[in-house]
Amino acid sequence: MPRIITIANQKGGVGKTTTAVNLAASLAAAERRTLLIDVDPQGNAGSALGIARDEVEASVYEALLDGVPLADVVRKTELKFLDLAPASRHLVGAELELADVSGRERRLADAVAAIASEYEYVLIDCPPSLGLLTLNGLVAAQGVIIPLQCEYFALEGLADVLRTIDLVKEQANPGLLVDGIVLTMHAANNLAQQVEDEIRKHFRREVFKTVIPRNVRLSESPSHGKPILLYDVASKGCQSYLELAREVVKRADRLGKAA
């Protein structure tokens, strides 16, 4: 069985998609068979991997609502070990349409279960809300990675995600773990350092050692339709995601052995 990890934070622009894409690419570079599932209607993960939302025929929407097998939605990417289940515009309506179907919060979990054996890692990129799509991501996963931007209000937003994770644990997915909090877009200034210190004090174990720096190469690579690995492997941004992947693998291996 793969390790299924959802990347969630209801705040937009904190580095969810950048983390999902580049962590997935880094795992794939280590020859771990990886599937990235994009449940954000904006479809940024797909475009960051060179698959435009408008050219997608079957998407995660059809897998969630029309019973199309996820395997039929999956596309190959430029990286041999990385596949993508792309989003589409239709997902915009999915929050509402899902509200009326039975087992509405388990749709993604069921879809993933059918192809889980093909992969070692499944990463799920969520939209910036705590609605039904993110809920599906949390119910389908074993672990959550929470990207957090090192800014003044970071901790407030974090409380909301953690509360939602607790609810999901109580009601739908008791085994769900916070795999880790990853500090993103870290700027070399005092405020970022203070926020980092504060977060590490509150959440000792959960915070990944690896910090993702603010790095312009990371913000450029999506417009080239490439993960940072295929755009600028020597950049600080790329090296930090490779390091994060090593930490994620170490944690997953440890959890696997404990299970």
Residues of this chain that bind Mg ion (CB under 5 A): 16-17, 44
Could you give the CA distance from residue 16 to residue 18 in angstroms, rounded to a whole number? 6
The helices-and-strands tally (H runs, E runs) of the chain is 11, 7
Q: Give Cα separations from 164 to 91, 139, 157 (angstroms).
A: 21, 11, 11
- Helix 16-29, helix 236-258: angle, nearest 10: 70
Report whether 37 contacts 124 (CB < 8 A). yes
Tell me the closest approach of the beta carbon of residue 15 to ligand ADP, in angstroms.
4
Tokens 């979990």 found at: 109
User: Does residue 212 interact with ligand ADP by CB under 6 A?
Assistant: yes
Nearer Cβ to Mg ion, position 120 or 122?
122
User: Does residue 59 interact with ligand ADP by CB under 6 A?
Assistant: no
Nearer Cβ to Mg ion, position 20 or 82?
20
Of 10-18, 102-110, 162-170, 243-251, the segment contacting ligand ADP by CB under 6 A is: 10-18
Half-sphere exposure of 205 (CA within 13 A, CB side): 4
Tokens 């390790």 found at: 3
Of 14-22, 24-32, 111-119, 187-195, the segment contacting ligand ADP by CB under 6 A is: 14-22
Q: Which residue is nearest to Mg ion (CB)?
A: 17
Q: Which of 65, 90, 128, 239 is the binder for ligand ADP (CB under 6 A)? A: 128
User: Does residue 219 interact with ligand ADP by CB under 6 A?
Assistant: yes
H/E stretch holding 222: none
Could you give the CA distance from residue 99 to residue 132 in angstroms, rounded to a whole number? 8
Nearer Cβ to ligand ADP, position 101 or 187?
187
Q: Which does 104 bind (CB under 5 to 8 A by kind): Mg ion, ligand ADP, none?
A: none
Report whether 4 contacts 124 (CB < 8 A). yes
Q: How many residues bind ligand ADP (CB under 6 A)?
A: 18
Report whether 75 contacts 69 (CB < 8 A). no
Tell me the closest approach of the beta carbon of residue 58 to Mg ion, in angstroms.
21
Mark residues 84-113: x for contact with ligand ADP by CB under 6 A, - for none: ------------------------------
Tell me the closest approach of the beta carbon of residue 153 to ligand ADP, in angstroms.
15
Q: Give Cα separations from 82 to 119, 160, 225 (angstroms).
A: 9, 31, 14
Tell me the closest approach of the beta carbon of residue 13 to Mg ion, in angstroms.
8
- For ligand ADP, the binding residues (CB under 6 A) are 12-18, 44, 128, 184-185, 212, 214-215, 218-219, 222, 237
